Amino acid sequence: MATVRTKLKAAELEAAIAKRLAERPECAGIIQVYVKATGREPPEDTWMHTLVSRRPNSPRLQEETTVMHAVLNEMRKEFDLLPDE
């Protein structure tokens, strides 16, 4: 049975990612993740992260990177990116 994924525009998806990361103390230094379309169709991944904005003076730790990638991988299973119109 295929999982139904929510389709979001880029700004909505970026906001959802920021909210999910904010729930993880390991990711407190991340304030925004930017996404772009992969050009693929579901069930393949329709988006990928391209850039991460961080709080000034917040050191980037390996644990943060690991948790961020785990969250993004989880969210790829839940959300698809709507193409730009």
Residue 42: predicted pLDDT: 87
The residue assigned the tokens 């959802």 is 16
Residue 56 lies in a domain: yes
Total tally of structural domains belonging to the chain: 1
What is the distance of C-alpha 59 from the center of its chain? 20
Residue 32: predicted pLDDT: 94
* Rounded Cα–Cα distance for residues 24 and 65 (Å): 12
Residue 46: predicted pLDDT: 96
* Rounded Cα–Cα distance for residues 12 and 75 (Å): 13
SS3 of residue 12 by DSSP: helix
Which residues constitute the domain of residue 50? 6-81
Residue 32 lies in a domain: yes
Residue 37: predicted pLDDT: 95
Residue 54: predicted pLDDT: 92
Listed as ranges, residues in the chain with pLDDT below 50 are: none
The residue assigned the tokens 């959300």 is 79
Residue 1 lies in a domain: no
